[in-house]
Amino acid sequence: MEYGLIGEKLGHSFSKEIHGKIGDYSYELKEIERGKLADFIESREFKGINVTIPYKQDVIPMLDWVDPAALKIGAVNTIVNRDGKLFGYNTDFLGMKLLIRKTGIDLTGKKVLILGTGGTSLTATAVAESLNATEIIHVSRSGKDDAVTYEQAYTDHKDAACIINTTPCGMFPNFRNKPIDLEKLPLVEGVIDAIYNPVCTDLILDAKERGIKAEGGLYMLVAQAVCAAEFFFDTKYPDTLLSDIFADMERKKSNIVLVGMPGSGKSTVGAILSKKFGKELIDTDVLIVKKAGMEITEIFEKYGEKHFRDIESEVIRDIASDTGIIIATGGGAVLRSENVRELKHNGKLYLLDRPVENIVPTDDRPLADTFDKVKKRYEERKPIYEACCDEVVDASVGIEEVVDALLSKW
């Protein structure tokens, strides 16, 4: 290959798409088994590569020259082949530094917990030092190599102000995990997670629920990729390229999740957006009917609302890892907090707020088949809708106007 990414497992990677937006060059993903790294590097059959878990430290002795900054960090994530000589750099440093600044986290005079002890943790250490953190504590499950255990972090470092996660805990496909419990660290004011798939890990969701500044690793990924390409081609890209690609990737990978009362226009708006952007539309009610093998009214009649809600939760859990789709939810989907959390891993929730007097009762909605029921549900659910959504869209106007209003917030 000419350009690409090497690592042990790359099923989660967005790098090929990002480099496709940087320039017109071939970029491949190449998984390399442990024990075969040296053969690949020594073959030198590439022009430029990025390096990810678990090889950022392993490649250093195989290179002809390593940038002093990368050597000091102890990790290389970018290698350039210049006339058969291999040059190593660390572009993760700039990526993480820009991410922290973008998130608005100030490390000056703060204690920072860095989760993990691999190559990215070394980069995080260098970044924290450059941003004037006064104390940097490494945390790992084993507590080896001058790290503390997670239990020690809870007991001895309750005053930590920032957490940087560099472990793969919480990464797709095992994204329903988190490396640390924020409830046990009450003074944390900033959280950075190097993971970018899902867009919001459980750790980031925990932080945001507590009002803590927090951001996942997508911006860092784009920033380091642009910087790596500058080394590949010995060029300098405009500063706007990073922000443009990040905005495009965020829109592409984030799901549009439509929430609101039955009859608020979710399916109709979803269909228009699907056609407009070529994104798949998933209607959770349709999936429920398919999974149950019967209509929603029949599910209610035979098994009751709880059974319906259980199937609904299963359906939402099944689609939570999908990216770049449009999801039209049932009116009561967000009544369960676990459903909201699942939808927020990769989605932004838009409340289509249609006045109750404009909602027409229909026979296929057991909890909204009369106006009295509609009104009762509206009054019960409106505070829940408003609390869980990211944006409120006025749905009292025409459908095209609703679509335009939503897109203006997207």
Q: What is the mean pLDDT of residues 164-178?
A: 94
Task: Dump pLDDT digits (tens) for 106-127.
Answer: 999 999 999 999 889 999 999 9
Range of the domain at 14: 3-89+234-241
Residue 204 sits in the same domain as residue 279: no
Percent pLDDT > 70 in the chain is 100
Percent pLDDT > 90 in the chain is 90
Phi, psi dihedral angles at 306 (to 5 degrees): -60, -45
Tell me the C-alpha distance between 342 and 291, whole Å: 19
pLDDT at position 28: 97
Annotated active-site residue in 56, 110, 111, 344? 56
Alpha carbon 22 to its chain's center: 21
pLDDT at position 4: 98
Neighbour count for residue 239 (Cβ, 10 Å) = 9
- 28 forms bridges with which residues in the sheet? 4
Four-CA torsion 273, 274, 276, 279, nearest 10 degrees: 120
Using the predicted structure, report yes or no on whether residue 387 has a pLDDT greater than 90.
Answer: yes
Domain contains 249: no
Residue 266 sits in the same domain as residue 375: yes
Using the predicted structure, report yes or no on whether residue 364 has a pLDDT greater than 80.
Answer: no
Residue 384 sits in the same domain as residue 280: yes
Q: Which of 49, 378, 52 is nearest to 232 (CA)?
A: 49
Domain contains 224: no
Q: Which of 279, 246, 219 is nearest to 407 (CA)?
A: 279
Output the domain CATH number for residue 14: 3.40.50.10860
Domain contains 111: yes
Residue 152 sits in the same domain as residue 276: no
DSSP 29: E
Domain contains 359: yes
Domain contains 225: no
Using the predicted structure, report yes or no on whether residue 328 has a pLDDT greater than 90.
Answer: yes
Confidence of residue 217 (pLDDT cuts 50, 70, 90): very high
Residue 292 sits in the same domain as residue 404: yes
Output the domain CATH number for residue 183: 3.40.50.720
Using the predicted structure, report yes or no on whether residue 60 has a pLDDT greater than 80.
Answer: yes
Residue 371 sits in the same domain as residue 350: yes
Task: Dump pLDDT digits (tens) for 249-276.
Answer: 999 999 999 999 988 999 999 999 999 9
Q: Which of 50, 55, 53, 54 is nearest to 16 (CA)?
A: 50
> Given the structure tokens 């925990």, which residue do they identify?
206
Token pair, residue 114, equals 């860095």
Domain contains 330: yes
Q: What is the mean pLDDT of residues 299-316?
A: 96
Q: Which of 247, 259, 303, 302 is nearest to 284 (CA)?
A: 259
pLDDT at position 372: 85
Residue 373 sits in the same domain as residue 271: yes
Using the predicted structure, report yes or no on whether residue 363 has a pLDDT greater than 90.
Answer: no
Residue 296 sits in the same domain as residue 379: yes
Q: What share of the chain is helix, strand, coil (3-state, %, to 5)?
A: 45, 15, 40
Domain contains 248: no
Residue 399 sits in the same domain as residue 258: yes
Output the domain CATH number for residue 371: 3.40.50.300
pTM: 0.91
- 214 forms bridges with which residues in the sheet? 191
Does residue 158 have an active-site annotation? no
Residue 161 sits in the same domain as residue 73: no
Residue 151 sits in the same domain as residue 31: no
Neighbour count for residue 328 (Cβ, 10 Å) = 26
Residue 20 sits in the same domain as residue 77: yes
Q: Give just the sign of the alpha carbon dihedral 178, 203, 390, 321.
A: negative
Name residue 90's amino acid.
N
Task: Dump pLDDT digits (tens) for 69-89.
Answer: 999 999 999 999 999 999 999
Number of domains forming the structure of the chain = 3
